[in-house]
Structure 1
Amino acid sequence: MTKIVVVDNHGQFTHLERRALSDLGVDTELIDNETPPDEVAADGVVLSGGPDMDRIGRSPAYLDGDVPVLGICLGMQLMAAELGGAVGGGEYGGYADVTVDIVDDADPLLGSLAPQTRVWASHADEVTDLPEGFTRTATSTVCEIEAMSDPDRGLFGVQWHPEVAHTEAGDVVFENFVEICEST
């Protein structure tokens, strides 16, 4: 059975990420972000959202592993910051229902959602510059980089929260990530 761990960065929806994966029949576990990656055996990792970069623990170390990683909101931002991109304050601010345009219909994580999907996202902080090797896979009128992807390294990020009911096809995002993990 496929196992995916959710690294808890103290986000308010983290338990829903674990639940979404569990509902797909995935063996999943919620782990503290101070857990060293070498103590974790999994086929994939979700870096959860959270309140701020000061509380990400050892999350950046999971980017160096040999399994796919999905960063959600803060998880995407820490991925960008750690790998040479940039993160800054968003102009929009808090949570909102946003229509995102999928700009890469071949992307293994989001391509099946093209051309658009409705999401629930926080834009207090956002990725402002992509790390080397990443492509922008989604955009909106609120945020230029709503999602990013580096399939060669198995690294994916979304600004929004696919685990909440307000996100239109969040289950598809998780299904696609499970498929990525199973094919690696």
Structure 2
Amino acid sequence: MRFLVAECEPPQAREKRRESVGRSSGETYLEVLHKLAPGAECDRIKPTDSCAEIPGREALTEYDAVFLTGSPLHLWQDSPEARRQIDFMHRVFASGTPSFGSCAGLQVACVAAGGKVRPMGDRREAGFARRLVATERGRAHPLLDGRPASYDAPAIHTDEVEALPEGATLLASNRVTRVQAAEIRCGEGVFWGVQYHPEISLREVAAALRRQSDDLLEHGLARSNADVEQLAQQVDALHAEPNRADLAWQLGLDDQVTVPEYRTRELRNFIEHLVKPTRAKRGR
């Protein structure tokens, strides 16, 4: 199989993430995809960069899947970076290549297909999205195959989908963010996406908490930087020892987050239930 990872991070955010966790969002995706699909050929591009060469429709048809990463990019702002990312997604839809996105990746697909994204205001999901529940349509959708009736997932975002495009299917919600998972069809393309982050490790969750410490204080989710650091240290410790029941209990987490095979379930489902059947239809 041949995969293309499209990094939604602008250059400054990409380097800031590398400083805190050692890799960009696209590099995280590459590592996870190599584990989920050993032997797959994976390329990475950076559509937000002004100097980036964006593949056209025909070039995109040579891939079996396209993955869009998370990012602090605000899709509700008219910026050159946002326009480049949305233009890239238009090409993905036109190519008919199956696509998947997490966090900003979902928001990019939504806007490109005619939906809307907005800032969350004072609400936040920082660290983990709690009590995610599939909709009636979501319970039968292969993206969420194997997920329990209610589950948690890594999540870090300050924007959300305000309105899905026409014809999209809402698959999961919680009390903080209505659109947590969705299927979007546009032109020849099919996109499956989630607002949370099935691709990131607990170590990356801890790093994200540290990067967003000031924002957490501003919105009353922590009283001090020391509070944020204490939480990040617990998450780091659980990453190092995922079988520690005491840390999982203190953080209110179960195996849906602590076990990598469960945490990455949506990515695995996308490859098994959409990418491989589409590849077979194309005679590859």
TM-score under structure 2 length normalisation:
0.59
Higher strand share: 1
Code of the aligned partner of 1:78: V
Report the Cα distance in structure 2 between the residues aligned to 1:73 and 1:16, rounded to whole angstroms. 14
Correspondence list, 1:6-25, <5 A: 6-10=5-9, 12=17, 13-24=25-36, 25=38
Report the Cα distance in structure 1 between the residues aligned to 2:190 and 2:263, rounded to whole angstroms. 19
More divergent stretch after superposition (3-12 vs 14-23) = 3-12
Does structure 1 residue 78 correspond to structure 2 residue 105? no
Per the alignment, residue 183 of structure 1 pairs with 277
Per the alignment, residue 44 of structure 1 pairs with 65
Per the alignment, residue 201 of structure 2 pairs with 165
Kept in 2, the 8 Å contact 1:102–1:111? The answer is no
Uncovered stretches (5+) of structure 1, i.e. residues with no partner: none
96, 102, 106: which one pairs with 2:127? 96
Kept in 1, the 8 Å contact 2:93–2:190? The answer is no
TM-score under structure 1 length normalisation:
0.88
Give the deviation of 1:94 after TM superposition.
5.5
Kept in 1, the 8 Å contact 2:110–2:184? The answer is no
Q: 2:124 is paired with a residue of what secondary structure?
A: strand
Report the Cα distance in structure 2 between the residues aligned to 1:132 and 1:173, rounded to whole angstroms. 23
Q: 1:132 is paired with a residue of what secondary structure?
A: coil
Report the Cα distance in structure 2 between the residues aligned to 1:3 and 1:160, rounded to whole angstroms. 24
Once the two structures are superposed, residues 78-124 of structure 1 have per-residue CA deviations (whole angstroms, 9 ceiling, x without a partner) of 11111111111114235231221122122121233142221111231
Once the two structures are superposed, residues 30-65 of structure 1 have per-residue CA deviations (whole angstroms, 9 ceiling, x without a partner) of 222242233342101011122213324243222222
Report the Cα distance in structure 1 between the residues aligned to 2:125 and 2:173, rounded to whole angstroms. 17
Q: 1:112 is paired with a residue of what secondary structure?
A: coil
Per the alignment, residue 4 of structure 2 pairs with 5
Per the alignment, residue 29 of structure 1 pairs with 43
Uncovered stretches (5+) of structure 2, i.e. residues with no partner: 18-24, 203-255, 279-284
**Larger relative contact order (Cα-Cα within 8 Å, sequence gap ≥ 6):** 1
Report the Cα distance in structure 2 between the residues aligned to 1:183 and 1:101, rounded to whole angstroms. 27
Report the Cα distance in structure 2 between the residues aligned to 1:95 and 1:69, rounded to whole angstroms. 25
More divergent stretch after superposition (169-178 vs 28-37) = 28-37
Give the deviation of 1:153 after TM superposition.
4.2
Kept in 2, the 8 Å contact 1:86–1:130? The answer is yes
Per the alignment, residue 93 of structure 2 pairs with 63
- Matched positions, count: 183
Kept in 2, the 8 Å contact 1:122–1:160? The answer is yes
Higher helix share: 2
RMSD over aligned Cα atoms: 2.1
Per the alignment, residue 191 of structure 2 pairs with 155
Per the alignment, residue 170 of structure 2 pairs with 136
Q: 2:200 is paired with a residue of what secondary structure?
A: coil
Report the Cα distance in structure 2 between the residues aligned to 1:175 and 1:93, rounded to whole angstroms. 27
Kept in 2, the 8 Å contact 1:47–1:72? The answer is yes
Kept in 1, the 8 Å contact 2:128–2:156? The answer is no
Taking a change above 3 Å as real, the CA distance of residues 77 and 20 of structure 1, as seen in their structure-2 partners, is same
Q: 1:120 is paired with a residue of what secondary structure?
A: strand
